[in-house]
Structure 1
Amino acid sequence: MALRAGCEHYARSCLLKAPCCGKLYVCRLCHDAEENHQMDRFKVEEVQCSGCQTLQRAQQACQQCHVQFGEYYCDICHLFDKDKNQYHCHPCGICRIGPREKYFHCDKCNLCLAQDLQGNHKCVENVSRQNCPVCMEDIHTSRIGAHVLPCGHLLHKSCFDDMVRTSAYRCPLCMHSVWNMKEHWEQIDIEIAQSPMPTEYQGTSVKG
């Protein structure tokens, strides 16, 4: 049995007891928005059922009324949510939205990346441990997906979309193009090859 509850961030049927202040919040993000300190999700030990109000150790279902707190539950991150094919990545140290088989963990980048980038991306050591160069907010633990630029740097997908929408086409960190221009230049070469020089200019040379 499931109980519809939660907040704007997560669909869950319990409140977390913050280990820092002892207050009850639906999630760490709701806590952090209200308090002048941050909740350590890994230290959460107790939750309160949204149905019967029973305070109990963190687990997937209520020990009293048996309501399911979340379709997905991670006993490391204490993450309760509806099923989004989440999985816990031990090297990343947090839960990611999967499915797991579509991602791999790059040890050098220290980040989970889509399978089609395996052996097909430029590694930047611990790249996700840097803030997004556009909004300066954390990337590694963000609920917003990351966009990998050809240079290997990361920014939030939403920040990337906003950036190119305003005609900014270079990485804010290294100024390399945000697009892989190889196919573009190849297309231009083809167009040039298919556009013969006018007869009156053939065989002439340019003098300085």
Structure 2
Amino acid sequence: MDTGFQENEQNQELDSHVTHLMEISSGYYGCSHYRRRCKIRAPCCDEVFDCRHCHNEAKDSLQTEQLLRHDLPRHDVSKVICSLCGTEQDVQQNCSTCGVCMGKYFCSKCKFFDDDLSKKQYHCDDCGICSVDHSYAKIANRLVKNFFHCKRCRCCYSKVLEDKHRCLEGALHHNCPVCFEYLFDSTKDITVLRCGHAVHLECTKDMELHNRYTCPLCSKSICDMSSVWKKLDEEVAAYKIPKVYEDKMVWILCNDCGSNTDVRFHLIAHKCSSCGSYNTRKTQRGPNTHSYSSGVPQVVSSTG
């Protein structure tokens, strides 16, 4: 028999076997965070969990005694347990006993497994972690990762934002200002506001439901408010201010452009004379001082 034919046949059998190991029980194991065919042993407490997020939810929650709370850094994982045969072993993609692929996506640096390739996971050496890329571009009939790493922000963004985003030192290396979950390794979708601050996407939706349209950190408007400002123009013009206030002037600080200006007092809202925004707050003194009154922006947020 032709040796070339035999070799080709053997390669086909090997490919078929590898495919079988990749697919066997795929999608049947895992947790709410990942579909995978292994569990991890947490070295910090020597307990078994489906993933490190499951560990952190159990061990770093309000239900856990404060002195016992802790989380599990991804790089500390050294042992995994095959979900099919139960063998505990060093971190590797295929089980050392039954040979099953424990995760179609596997990163030896992050000790990370995931069977759901639709997330388009990738590892960024600059970030030091694996991330999910929702923004692939199709070039020459193949998918190309459409992201870049910003050295100053110390995180990856879609290329759409490469020349448009506002750089902030360690942009994602802090807690979400709404729910207080750490953003950098969060599994939830994150959006970058116009001011450059980052928030969970679902948190911005919650903000909108409660008529909050300013950044929780810097108070700048998070979206185009021109239609709201136009409506406020009409309301301010239609409202007849009491005579006692007709000549009253106040200093305001604009949260959007940062201008500190002297404007005519009004009971509804105060408009920035520099940029036209009503996202302003009244200050006690002029532009050369820093003694302000309440930090609550004087904005009529209802758009109804």
Task: Please tell me the TM-score bracket, short chain as reference.
Answer: 0.7 to 0.9
Please name the residue that 2:206 is paired with: 162
Amino acid at match of 2:146: K
Give the match's secondary structure for 1:163.
helix
In the alignment, the residues of structure 1 paired with residue 34 and residue 88 of structure 2 have an alpha-carbon distance, to the nearest angstrom, of 20
Q: Which of 99, 116, 130 matches 1:95?
A: 130
Please name the residue that 1:22 is paired with: 46
Deviation readout 1:99-125 (Å, 9 max, x if unpaired): 572211111111111111001111111
Q: 1:21, CA displacement in angstroms?
A: 2.0
Asked if 1:49 is matched to 2:49, the reply is: no
In the alignment, the residues of structure 1 paired with residue 72 and residue 219 of structure 2 have an alpha-carbon distance, to the nearest angstrom, of 36
Deviation readout 1:42-100 (Å, 9 max, x if unpaired): 02111111111111111111111111111111111111112121001112121111257
Amino acid at match of 1:95: C
In the alignment, the residues of structure 2 paired with residue 33 and residue 128 of structure 1 have an alpha-carbon distance, to the nearest angstrom, of 21
Asked if 1:113 is matched to 2:146, the reply is: no
Q: 1:145, CA displacement in angstroms?
A: 1.5
The answer for unaligned runs of 5 or more in structure 1 is: 189-208
CA contact (8 A) 1:5 1:50 kept: yes
Asked if 1:152 is matched to 2:196, the reply is: yes
Deviation readout 1:150-183 (Å, 9 max, x if unpaired): 11111111101111122111111111110146xx
Equivalent residue pairs, number: 184
Please name the residue that 1:8 is paired with: 32
Give the match's secondary structure for 1:127.
coil
Aligned Cα root-mean-square deviation (Å): 1.7
In the alignment, the residues of structure 1 paired with residue 205 and residue 124 of structure 2 have an alpha-carbon distance, to the nearest angstrom, of 27
Amino acid at match of 1:91: D
The answer for unaligned runs of 5 or more in structure 2 is: 1-20, 60-68, 137-143, 231-304
In the alignment, the residues of structure 2 paired with residue 89 and residue 164 of structure 1 have an alpha-carbon distance, to the nearest angstrom, of 33
Please name the residue that 2:302 is paired with: none
Q: 1:135, CA displacement in angstroms?
A: 1.2
Amino acid at match of 1:87: Y
In the alignment, the residues of structure 2 paired with residue 172 and residue 33 of structure 1 have an alpha-carbon distance, to the nearest angstrom, of 25
Give the match's secondary structure for 1:128.
coil
CA contact (8 A) 1:91 1:105 kept: yes
Q: Which of 203, 219, 222 matches 1:178?
A: 222
Q: Which is bigger in relative contact order (C-alpha 8 A, separation at least 6)?
A: 1
Q: Which of 45, 60, 64 matches 2:93?
A: 60
TM-score (norm 1): 0.83
Amino acid at match of 2:122: Y
Q: Sequence identity of aligned pairs in percent?
A: 41
Please name the residue that 2:257 is paired with: none
Give the match's secondary structure for 2:172.
helix
Q: Which of 104, 107, 123 matches 1:71?
A: 104
CA contact (8 A) 1:150 1:180 kept: no
